Chain A
Amino acid sequence: MKNPYKIQTSKILKIEKEGSESKLFTLKAPKDFKFKGGQFVEVSLPGFGEAPFSICSDPSQKNNFEICARKTGVLTSELHKMKKGESIGIRGPYGAPFPIKLVEKRDLLLVAGGLGIEPLRPIILEILNNRKKYQKVQLLYGACEESDLLFSGEYEKWRSGLEFFLTLDKPKDISGNLPKKWKCQVGVVTSLFDRAKIYRNAVAFLCGPPVMYKFVIKKLKELDFKDEDIYLSLERRMHCGVGVCNHCAVGSFSVCKDGPVFSWERIKDVRGAI
């Protein structure tokens, strides 16, 4: 029978540094590999196990895809040692993506906190590539420090197609001043709600840590966003990736299978969801 735990090997085509602790890996896509923004792959390094990674590249690229890995544990440390031309194992793509179809006719608000920018990048790139297909788009992105900023080489491109607001929690500059080149402000991501004029009746896609969700959803509710118009990606220990091992259970859902992207409507009553 089909073995859902079987891996496919994928060659590393390119490795770039992203921020101070992350690396962006361009990987050769296996045959018929298709994904949508918000989905993830399980990366498998025999000897070091498996871990889930958001796919962060442009979904229209068929031959390769990208994952961004911050060095935080055993597997990511090993991944960081790898070189161009070597291969890794992957399973997937898995999970429910952000419902991008929904925003062809509606304005879109993207809110990212920290590494949460990763699964939103496919959405950003998809919109920039097909700008006419979509309506007004705003992106609010908050990171802790300058060194945490991901995909900073693309910000000018992002600004050309969408309203991009950036904030840093602790902008560490020797002089204590804000680095001008980022065109950012100081504060957490919710502080951007006061600066950006948020489009009412937009759909919101969020990705960030649980604490960000608490405050952002509060803001969105003040702006009369409906629960079904708020989508958020949950982070959990997605161990098997196929909805069996139960490590990522949230209420009656498996985050790896029913999520990671959920509408707030669906999970707002689940204890401990955020």
Chain B
Amino acid sequence: MTSAELRKFINFLIEKGYIVWAPVKKNNIVDYEEVNKADNFQMIQEAPFYSFKRLLIPREETLFEYKDNELKEVNNFKDQVIFGINPVDLKALVLLNYIFEKDPWYQGRMKKTLIIGQSLIPKEPEHNIFHYKYKEDILEHLQFDIFIEAQKGVFNTKYFFYTGSEKGQRILDEYGYNEYENIQFAGAIKEEGQDKNMIKYRDSLKNNYKKELWEKDLGAKCIECGKCTTVCPTCFCFDIKDQPGLKSGGKRRRARSSCFYSDFSEISGNHKFLNSTAEKIYFWYYHKFVAIPDQLQIPGCVGCGRCAKVCPVGINIFKVLTELDNNEKSIQNSNLQNFKD
């Protein structure tokens, strides 16, 4: 397709009744916005300030409505298109799809969502810290309904279409466009095996507790604001809480949570398991770079760099990872070590 044809296709989706979300640049900030008319639409290479995450896992949502002891599942979602997710963020989608595979609300929303990815990877290295490159062969390890590959020519850009699901094929067929190739999802892990960076950082975090880094450096710097957890496309921790209605009954709600907030690890009797800032930030890194790799064999960080951009005290994930990779000043530690004290 040409740019003009692409706009026509987006207009078709809008007319079909989808809410179409796409990255839009406004006041110098790129963010997902609802597009009502695609006539001036342009593909944006910059990473959106927020990822697509909130469109699939809202900050807060109602799971059930309750009355007395009866819970009624609330599950009514609108048809939506999330347009223009770049390959870095699509890796986060793969991860969330695993995490929420049995979740009726996430799945309910996904059933109504058309995911349209695109190949423009952010130019700024801080938005692609692992230097992930777009090549056609990465597509079989990503999940999408439609994927649009932009090929920039001398005078104009051409768009090539791939599908990753029947849903994607059906839409394109209906639109009357059949110049697409279908890609079968081959799992998140590439043929050559697990991600080498992932293994490197996992081993470092698991086997080398860097006391200086966690307790002196990051533990002192971090102010536990939790902004990184908000913008991170893979941060998904949540709370479930009841919100009584004013008259009777109420709602059981789910809200995104943050491991930096003080009640995150709290149990009965006000006891907490994450107390110091150092423990919290270590927990955050451990979840992404050890726990998720151990559980799913894929990295828990896609390298989008949003956490560094938003951090008010300048903690830069790329620098932290470089430090993890530097094995000179390491302190071996384990629970057993504590027994010797």
Give me the interface of A with B, judged by CB distance under 8 Å.
Answer: 1-7, 9, 44, 46-51, 70, 72-73, 76, 87-89, 214, 217-218, 221, 235-237, 239-240, 242, 244-247, 249, 251-252, 268-274
Which of A49, A70, A242, A252 meets B241, CB within 8 Å?
A49
Q: How many residues of B contact A (CB 8 A)?
A: 51
Question: Are A72 and B69 neighbours in the complex by a CB distance under 8 Å?
Answer: no
State the Cβ distance, A224 to closest chain B Cβ, in Å: 15
Which of A2, A214, A217, A245 meets B102, CB within 8 Å?
A2
By a CB distance below 8 angstroms, the chain B residues around A271 are 209, 282, 333-335
Residues 136 to 155 of chain B near chain A (Cβ within 8 Å): none
Which of B102, B267, B287 meets A249, CB within 8 Å?
B287
The answer for the CA separation of A3 and B66 in the assembled complex, in Å, is 15
- Kindly report which residue of chain A lies nearest to residue B106, judged by CB atoms: A244
The answer for the CA separation of A247 and B272 in the assembled complex, in Å, is 11
Question: Are A246 and B294 neighbours in the complex by a CB distance under 8 Å?
Answer: no
Q: 24 A-B pairs, CB-CB below 8 angstroms?
A: A2-B102, A9-B69, A44-B71, A46-B66, A46-B67, A46-B252, A47-B242, A47-B250, A51-B268, A89-B71, A236-B265, A237-B264, A237-B266, A237-B273, A242-B102, A245-B237, A245-B239, A246-B287, A247-B265, A249-B283, A251-B290, A269-B336, A272-B279, A274-B335
The answer for the CA separation of A88 and B240 in the assembled complex, in Å, is 17
Question: Are A252 and B268 neighbours in the complex by a CB distance under 8 Å?
Answer: no
In the complex, B58 has a CB within 8 A of chain A: no
Question: Are A244 and B100 neighbours in the complex by a CB distance under 8 Å?
Answer: yes
State the Cβ distance, B230 to closest chain A Cβ, in Å: 15
The answer for the CA separation of A46 and B269 in the assembled complex, in Å, is 21
By a CB distance below 8 angstroms, the chain A residues around B187 are none
Contact A252-B290, Cβ < 8 Å, known A49-B240, A72-B269: yes
User: From DSSP, what is the main secondary structure of chain B's interface residues?
Assistant: mixed
The answer for the CA separation of A217 and B290 in the assembled complex, in Å, is 26
User: From DSSP, what is the main secondary structure of chain A's interface residues?
Assistant: loop
The answer for the CA separation of A244 and B267 in the assembled complex, in Å, is 17
- Kindly report which residue of chain B lies nearest to residue A246, judged by CB atoms: B237
The answer for the CA separation of A245 and B209 in the assembled complex, in Å, is 26
By a CB distance below 8 angstroms, the chain A residues around B259 are 246
By a CB distance below 8 angstroms, the chain B residues around A240 are 238, 240
- Apart from the given pairs A46-B69, A217-B339, A237-B265, 19 other A-B contacts in the complex at a CB distance below 8 Å: A5-B64, A5-B104, A7-B71, A46-B68, A46-B70, A46-B71, A46-B249, A47-B244, A48-B242, A49-B241, A50-B240, A214-B338, A236-B267, A239-B239, A247-B239, A247-B264, A247-B265, A269-B335, A269-B336
State the Cβ distance, B212 to closest chain A Cβ, in Å: 15
In the complex, B103 has a CB within 8 A of chain A: yes
- Kindly report which residue of chain B lies nearest to residue A49, judged by CB atoms: B242
- Kindly report which residue of chain A lies nearest to residue B71, judged by CB atoms: A7
Contact A246-B236, Cβ < 8 Å, known A46-B242, A47-B66: yes
In the complex, B257 has a CB within 8 A of chain A: yes
By a CB distance below 8 angstroms, the chain A residues around B336 are 268-269
Contact flags B31-71 to A (C-beta < 8 A → 1, else 0): 00000000000000000000000000000000110111111
- Kindly report which residue of chain A lies nearest to residue B338, judged by CB atoms: A214
The answer for the CA separation of A3 and B102 in the assembled complex, in Å, is 8
Which of B257, B267, B335 meets A245, CB within 8 Å?
B257
By a CB distance below 8 angstroms, the chain B residues around A1 are 102, 104, 107
By a CB distance below 8 angstroms, the chain B residues around A244 are 99-100, 103, 236, 238
Which of B69, B238, B295 meets A89, CB within 8 Å?
B69
By a CB distance below 8 angstroms, the chain A residues around B286 are 251
The answer for the CA separation of A249 and B259 in the assembled complex, in Å, is 10
Question: Are A239 and B279 neighbours in the complex by a CB distance under 8 Å?
Answer: no
Closest 8 CB pairs of A and B: A252-B294, A46-B66, A252-B291, A72-B268, A246-B237, A3-B104, A269-B334, A49-B242
State the Cβ distance, A92 to closest chain B Cβ, in Å: 15
In the complex, B73 has a CB within 8 A of chain A: yes
State the Cβ distance, B62 to closest chain A Cβ, in Å: 12
State the Cβ distance, B258 to closest chain A Cβ, in Å: 11
State the Cβ distance, A251 to closest chain B Cβ, in Å: 7
The answer for the CA separation of A135 and B95 in the assembled complex, in Å, is 47
State the Cβ distance, A133 to closest chain B Cβ, in Å: 34
By a CB distance below 8 angstroms, the chain B residues around A249 are 283, 287, 291
The answer for the CA separation of A236 and B268 in the assembled complex, in Å, is 9
By a CB distance below 8 angstroms, the chain A residues around B295 are 252
Max count, chain A CB within 10 A of own CB: residue among B73, B99, B239, B294? B239
State the Cβ distance, B94 to closest chain A Cβ, in Å: 16
State the Cβ distance, A44 to closest chain B Cβ, in Å: 8
Question: Are A235 and B335 neighbours in the complex by a CB distance under 8 Å?
Answer: no
Contact flags B110-142 to A (C-beta < 8 A → 1, else 0): 000000000000000000000000000000000
The answer for the CA separation of A1 and B73 in the assembled complex, in Å, is 11
By a CB distance below 8 angstroms, the chain B residues around A269 are 334-336
The answer for the CA separation of A244 and B106 in the assembled complex, in Å, is 12
The answer for the CA separation of A270 and B337 in the assembled complex, in Å, is 11
Contact flags B222-241 to A (C-beta < 8 A → 1, else 0): 00000000000000111111
The answer for the CA separation of A89 and B240 in the assembled complex, in Å, is 15
